[in-house]
Amino acid sequence: MTLRLRFVDGTIIADGAVPDTLPLTPDDRDRTLRAPAHRYAELRSALDSAGVDYEDRVLDLPALDLTTDYDLRNYQREALDAWDANDRRGVLELPTGSGKTVIAVAAMAALGTPTLVVAPTVDLLTQWRRELETEFDVPVGQLGGGEQRLEDLTVSTYDSAYLRADDIGNRFGFVVFDEVHHLGGEGYRDVARLLAAPARLGLTATFERPDGAHEVIEELVGPVVYDLAVDDLAGDHLADYELRRIEVDLTDAERSAYEEAQGTFVDYLKTSNLSFSSGSDYQELVKRSGSDPRAREALLAKQEAREIMMNADAKVDALARLLDRHRDDRVIVFTAHTDLVYRLSERFLLPAITGETGASERRAILDRFRQGTYSRIVTANVLDEGVDVPDANVAVVLSGSGSEREFTQRLGRILRPKADGGRALLYEVVSAETAEERVAERRR
């Protein structure tokens, strides 16, 4: 019996005489040899180079006529070529606003095979679908956002792709992961694992993850094959920009509350033999806090210290001065906590967007910002990613995490090239002599 490959529930099963060099593991339940579907391309090339004759029933895909008349910029062409040269696998790390979508569309046109595009939010899903419908003359399916319709070109959320991957894993020859850093999530990585698509493209502005899970992504999608930083494109395809740090002092009351809380935390560390040389020690502390009351107290104290430094009164005053200085500019204000968003919204009469803001209200606010009815908005972490935010030229970061990704995304909100060629400004307001100075240092 000749060797036969078939797709079952997110895995490739090999029937017949199988060379032992193949990366397959025996499945005791039904005595078959299996590999996760993402290794399909690898299996094929192993069989081909061993000269083994086999029957391939994994994918049976129609050829699609996808033509496009996009004119790629130089760096977009280079990125596409680099991906092509790496057996059509890999990640492109490019800044927000550099036209990642365009590159993916060009790749789809070049391959002409059924393609799945996976994106993290419904908002991005809608943008992708619109883009593909405009560009190609074929129906575009959608999984997620209330629809479950499969077509040769389909866009999906990570959540829906996760739910459907085992039964649609053999329907596509190409998969595009937008904001591919999400694929490192414990559950989401199964999406890439259960798909057989040999061609894989990941898009992101910040590939590396603090938890190291980008290594998993490299295995499932491929390594970074092309990358550009904001500074490579600033002044050319993106606006020039400037970062300004403003330090503010805590009030006396804030200072003493901060020192006391931070002290509780540091005292615990000194007696707890936690080394804190890496982020994993924080996880350890969290674990302990489940059973050790002192660990719990330390963690809550740390939480309190963070809230004090991130929401300091002087930041509100600093914002007042900045809003005054930039009366004629388009300003987005970012914070880490929703409470502060609403406080600022009341005091300065700013339209606010947080996780609690419903979809229709959010759309209305963004529309008015786009039209110019509003020239400033305040938000927590909502507009960090995956939302089509109208352009601004001034960003004020009142508080944020130490995440490089969050910082890059916030900066990206003001980098669209300006009509008058003007430069964008990002202010970071930081509480002096607190841990926030380190946090701000870490993110950039």
Q: Is 286 in the site for DNA (CB under 7 A)?
A: yes
Nearer to DNA, 14 or 331 (CB): 331
**Dihedral angle sign, alpha carbons of residues 213, 118, 237, 380:** negative
By beta-carbon proximity to DNA, the closer residue of 74 and 273 is 273
Question: Nearest distance from residue 58's CB to DNA, in Å?
Answer: 26
Return the range that interacts with DNA (CB under 7 A); candidates 28-36, 110-118, 243-251, 397-405. Answer: 397-405
Of 54-62, 95-103, 166-174, 280-288, which part binds DNA (CB under 7 A)?
280-288
Of 353-382, which residues contact DNA (CB under 7 A)?
354-356, 358-360, 379-382
Among 28, 137, 186, 328, binds DNA (CB under 7 A): 186
* Cα 173 to Cα 155: distance, rounded to the nearest angstrom: 14
Position 282 contacts DNA (CB under 7 A): yes
User: Min. distance of Cβ 223 from DNA in angstroms?
Assistant: 19
Stretch that binds DNA, among 73-81, 178-186, 389-397, 416-424 (CB under 7 A): 178-186
Judged by CB under 7 A, which stretch of 18-26, 165-173, 214-222, 349-357 contacts DNA?
349-357
What would the x/- binding string for DNA be over residues 108 to 147, using CB under 7 A? Answer: ------------xxxx-------------------xxxx-
Q: What residues numbered 215-274 form the site for DNA, per CB under 7 A?
A: 262, 265-266, 269-270, 273
**What's the one-letter identity of residue 380?**
A
Selected binder of DNA within 246, 300, 316, 432 (CB under 7 A) = 300
Q: In the complex with DNA, which residue's Cβ is closer, 99 or 144?
A: 144
Distance of CA 317 to the CA centre of its chain: 33
**Is position 296 an interface residue for DNA (rule: CB under 7 A)?**
yes
The verdict on 185 binding DNA (CB under 7 A) reads yes
Q: Does 187 help bind DNA (rule: CB under 7 A)?
A: yes
User: Whose Cβ is closer to DNA: residue 110's or residue 163's?
Assistant: 163
Size of the site for DNA (CB under 7 A): 73
Does position 337 bind DNA by CB under 7 A?
yes
- Strand 352-353, strand 376-379: pairing: parallel
Of 136 and 258, CB closest to DNA: 258
Q: Does 184 bind DNA (CB under 7 A)?
A: yes
| Residue 160 sits in the site that holds DNA (CB under 7 A) | yes
Interface residue with DNA, options 56, 284, 329, 433 (CB under 7 A): 284
> Shortest approach of DNA to residue 250 CB, angstroms?
16
- HEC assignment per residue over the chain: CCEEEEEECCEEEEECCCCCCCCCEEECCCCEEEEEHHHHHHHHHHHHHCCCCEEEECCCCCCCCCCCCCCCCHHHHHHHHHHHHCCCEEEEECCCCCCHHHHHHHHHHHHCCCEEEEECCHHHHHHHHHHHHHHCCCCEEEEECCEEECCCEEEEEHHHHHHHHHHHCCCCCEEEEECHHHHHCCCCHHHHHHCCCCEEEEEECCCCCCCCCHHHHHHHCCCEEEECCHHHHECCCECCEEEEEEEECCCHHHHHHHHHHHHHHHHHHHHCCCCCCCCHHHHHHHHHHCCCHHHHHHHHHHHHHHHHHHCCHHHHHHHHHHHHHCCCCCEEEECCCHHHHHHHHHHHCCCEECCCCCHHHHHHHHHHHHHCCCCEEEECCHHHCCCCCCCCCEEEECCCCCCHHHHHHHHHCCCCCCCCCCCEEEEEEEECCCCHHHHHHHCC
Of residues 49, 56, 52, 57, the one with CA closest to residue 18: 52
* Residues 28-57 within binding reach of DNA (CB under 7 A): none
* Residue with smaller CB distance to DNA, 49 or 360: 360
Q: Is 406 in the site for DNA (CB under 7 A)?
A: yes
The alpha carbons of the chain give a radius of gyration, in whole angstroms, of: 25
CB of 339 to DNA, least distance (A): 5
12, 319, 336, 392: residue in contact with DNA (rule CB under 7 A): 336
435 belongs to the binding site for DNA (CB under 7 A)? yes
Q: Which two tokens stand for residue 175?
A: 């998969």
299 binds DNA (CB under 7 A): yes
